[in-house]
Structure 1
Amino acid sequence: MVIGICGGGNIAHSLIGLLGSDSSNEIRLLTRKPNEWQKQICVINREGEDLIGKLDFVSDDASQIISKCELIILALPSQARESVIKQIAPFVAKNTWIGSFPGMGNFELICHKHLPLSEKNIRIFASQRVPCIARVSKYGEEVVMTSKKDSMAVATLNPNLIEEISTLLSPLFDMQILPLNNFLEVTLSTSNPILHPARMYALFKDIKADEVWGENPTFYESWNLESSEILIKMDEEVHTLLDKIPFDLSGIKPLLEHYDSANAEELTQKLSSIQAFKGLLSPMKKMDKGFVIDLESRYFIEDISFGLILIKDIAHLFSINTPTIDQVIYWAQDLLNKDYLLAGKLEGVDCVDLLLHPSFSISSPEEFLNFYQ
């Protein structure tokens, strides 16, 4: 199969290693830094055998990469997807599958806006979470994978196509594909857009943006009870929203259930002891005198500006109050020096830079539901 990968981060490296290790696949990479990639990508697997994935073509020119692809996977931050989708749109072939790993951040709305879906029978899918946990050790050459999932939950924009994409992806990734009921089970997933902001709020809420720390704390190993309590409250607000939407969204499990925990204490113990998360540091950057919050980290830009705020946008459509989510957004926008949320509504001047639903001509619950039914 001819597979196109768009991106250059941890997941892109991992996908090339995983999929390129099968000689029957041709791997084509669209990236901003084509000259920094080797012909092969090594996956150092902490849980099994290492892999070598071949990279057949690499370019920053979409016309050189995309037209021959049968399957295209975006492994990009949420804020980068629209520009890349617009870049590849003229070159996507008929009957191509296009997916995002993961897919929250209004990926499906961007595709609907910029891709000729009907004219070329382009099929859209996305995963609820990433297929593995990995970190680049040598850019364009080597990635360390600390955990490859046994299964991956996937949704399609057209629910009738879920069996087809599941059958396609399962042997490619050598894992069980769990079909989701509706694409909203990706869009409203309570993974990183809830998980990371809850922890950051508990960790940083009482300090200034330029305050210097002597060390950078671990993000998960030092996870505390307050982080869990905030996370649970935010998760409950999302599930209040889910109860208002008349679709089967049972594929979004309450986080206590997802992490097999009965309460905040057990959730704290669980999150602080996950082996794949060991050693992951908080979003801070090294300065001469110590560490300060990294406001350009994906934990802020992707998980808040293009994650949590988009969940808030949907909650507003359905008139759902989200006091804890609002609290975290107010804190984050003050740090970022942005005006998003005003008096509980996303009416700040900086909302123009976000992918809110009105920019996709969706401004009522009825228009929203019509898109996903």
Structure 2
Amino acid sequence: MPGDVILCVCGGGSGAHALAGLAVQKGVEVRVLTLFEDEAKKWNRVLQKEELTVIINENNRPPREVKAKPKMVTKDPEEAIPECDVIIFTVPASVHEIYFKAIAKHIGKRTLIVGLPGQAGFEFQCRDILGEKASLISIMSFETLPWECRLREFGKHVEIMGTKMYLSGSLIRGKSVTKPPLMTLQKFLGAQPMLRQSKHFLETIIMCYSFVHPVIFYGKWKDWDGKAVTEAPLFYHGIDEATAELLQKCSDECMAVAAAILEAAPTKANLSDVKDIHHWYMENYKNEITEADNLFHSITTNKAYEGLTHPMTESSVGVAPDFSSKYLTEDIPMGMVVFRGLAEVMEVPVPYTDMVIEWCQEKMGKEYLVGGKLTGKDIQSTRCPQRYGFTTLDAILTGEKST
């Protein structure tokens, strides 16, 4: 990797630690920007005494250890951002706006900005906050983190439990010349996961399948009587066939919106690779699923999901579902509502999506959908295209706001 590449990792969690450590080992100048409380000060105290250790677990191989020291860890955007070639967000989508606003004026016109993961609406938010500069930079958004990782000791020790085989992301290429985006990121990460570029950024929004967690919540708790239960039920492996059917119906609605966009703009929005959720599971978890004959079995026999339970709150009488979990607080405003915005622009009815959003927003104490329209009082906390003034397909595709 050329030594002249400067990377800023935004965040202070497990993903930021893992990415910073791996990229330093590739000869990259790594700067870490964390705006949360005193994380920068805490991390710097550790780095004065020792390097960051990344433990990497790989299939059928003994764990290997990487030691690295970022060039800087800071909470000051003016210190971290100037001259950066690549800026990668490894923070929850709910705080992306805070980071965008903090770094906006310091971003150079040849910069590549990456959401890892970006989650639905990342591009809309970036274009809105950066304004004209957004047409110059390049924007990438990936569906998930590249690894399953755990932060064992802040600033000191992170463990990569597993690495995905493939990772898909979208690219909106800016007018200014940048280093080859996908190749640059691949060199940061190493051989795996193998990065793939989707044909269009809307493919990543539609195929993030942000309805999965909310639908599983709905399926388990829609008839709940409000009484505490003795233990947290299994999340994925605890679904019933009715929940699997609802997941498939929401997936069918995603396919219908993709088809409508493709029909309306066949040369501008190639969504021909959009797959239904069952096919997506079979492709991404083919080595983990023992029965793939239908969606229900593809989820309930997926070894990657073993032991995972519903997020719960504890009390003296037992446990109850946690409706403040990120499975709802992120996947609804930064996921399902974004997709719902596309459906509204395309005038494609999505009754099952609506049903789940309406149930979840009531549990969350929020209001997004009102009378079948995205006009609720909490729309400004979402990343749906309507929030940013992208209310036509042309505006969504070009980033030029509707007039």
Query: Quick check: 93-102 or 11-20, which moved more?
Result: 11-20
State the match for 1:184 in structure 2.
Answer: 202
Residues 80-89 or 116-125, more deviating = 116-125
1:200 aligns with 2:217: yes
Out of 71, 90, 105, the residue aligned to residue 75 of structure 1 is 90
Between 42-51 and 27-36, the greater mean CA deviation after superposition: 42-51
Q: Which amino acid aligns with 2:196?
A: L
- Asked if the contact 2:137–2:174 (Cα under 8 Å) also holds between the matched residues in 1, the reply is no
- 1:11 Cα shift? 2.3
Structure-2 separation of matches of 1:289 and 1:67: 53
CA contact (8 A) 2:143 2:208 kept: no
Deviates more, 1:307-316 or 1:109-118: 109-118
Shift of 1:54: 2.8
CA 1:190–1:353 in structure 2 vs 1: closer, same or farther (change >3 Å)?
Answer: closer
Q: Do the aligned partners of 2:126 and 2:134 also contact (CA within 8 Å) in 1?
A: no
Q: Please name the residue that 1:342 is paired with.
A: 370
1:295 lines up with 2:349 in the alignment: no
Alignment gaps of 5+ in structure 1? none
Counterpart residue identity of residue 212, structure 2? L
The 2-side partners of 1:13 and 1:212 are apart by 37
Structural mapping, 1:155-166, within 5 Å: 155-158=170-173, 164-166=180-182
Identity within the alignment, %: 27
In the other structure, the counterpart of 1:29 is 32
Structure 1 counterpart of 2:20: 16
Q: Could you state the TM-score of these two structures normalised by the residue count of structure 1?
A: 0.89
Bigger mean CA offset, 262-271 vs 320-329? 262-271
What is the aligned counterpart of 1:360 among 355, 375, 388? 388
SS for the counterpart of 1:197 is helix
Q: Which residue of the partner structure matches residue 271 of structure 2?
A: 249
Question: 3-state DSSP class of the match of 1:216?
Answer: coil
Letter in 1 for 2:102: Q
Q: CA 1:285/1:265 → structure 2, altered by over 3 Å: closer, same or farther?
A: farther
Cα distance in 2 between the residues matched to 1:297 and 1:331: 15
The verdict on how the C-alpha distance between 1:19 and 1:219 changes in structure 2, with shifts beyond 3 A counting, is farther
| Counterparts in 2 of 1:273 and 1:17: CA distance versus 1, 3 Å | farther
In 1, Cα distance between the equivalents of 2:6 and 2:184? Answer: 13
- Code of the residue aligned with 1:132 in structure 2: it is W
Partner residue, 2:355: 327
Query: Could you tell me whether the CA contact under 8 Å between 2:253 and 2:350 is conserved in 1?
Result: yes
Aligned-partner SS, 2:211: helix
Secondary structure of the 2:331 match is helix
Runs of 4+ in 1 over 4 A off after TM superposition: 116-120, 159-163, 261-265
Indicate the residue corresponding to 1:7 in structure 2.
11
TM-score w.r.t. the length of structure 2 is 0.83
Q: Distance in 2 between matches of 1:2 and 1:205?
A: 49
Q: For the Cα contact (< 8 Å) 1:341–1:348, is it kept in 2?
A: yes
SS in 1 for 2:330: helix
Measured against aligned partners, the alpha-carbon deviations of 1:105-134 in whole angstroms (never above 9, x if no partner) come to 311122212226548942211113321222
| Structure with the greater alpha carbon radius of gyration | 2
Q: Given the superposition, is the C-alpha separation of residues 18 and 259 from structure 1 closer, same or farther in structure 2, using an over 3 Å criterion?
A: same
C-alpha distance after superposition, 1:11-47 (max 9, x if no partner): 223322332333x122211111223334344334343
Say what the alpha-carbon RMSD is for the aligned residues: 2.8
**3-state secondary structure, aligned to 1:341:** coil
| Counterpart residue identity of residue 34, structure 1 | A
Q: 1:188 to 1:57 in 2, by over 3 A?
A: same
Query: What letter corresponds to residue 28 of structure 2 in structure 1?
Result: N
Please show how residues 44-63 of structure 1 align to structure 2 within 5 Å. Answer: 44-47=55-58, 48=61, 49-52=63-66, 53-63=68-78
SS of residue in 2 equivalent to 1:154: strand
Contact 1:128 1:185 in 2 (8 A): no
In the alignment, is the contact (CA less than 8 A) between 2:228 and 2:317 conserved in 1? yes
Distance change in 2, residues 1:275/1:158 (3 Å) = same
- Deviation of the 1:302 alpha carbon: 0.7
Bigger shift: 114-123 or 361-370? Answer: 114-123
> How many residues matched?
369
Cα 1:157–1:105 change in 2 (3 A) is same
The aligned residue for residue 250 of structure 2 is: 234
How many Å apart are 1:257 and its aligned residue? 0.9
Equivalent in the alignment of 2:344 = 316
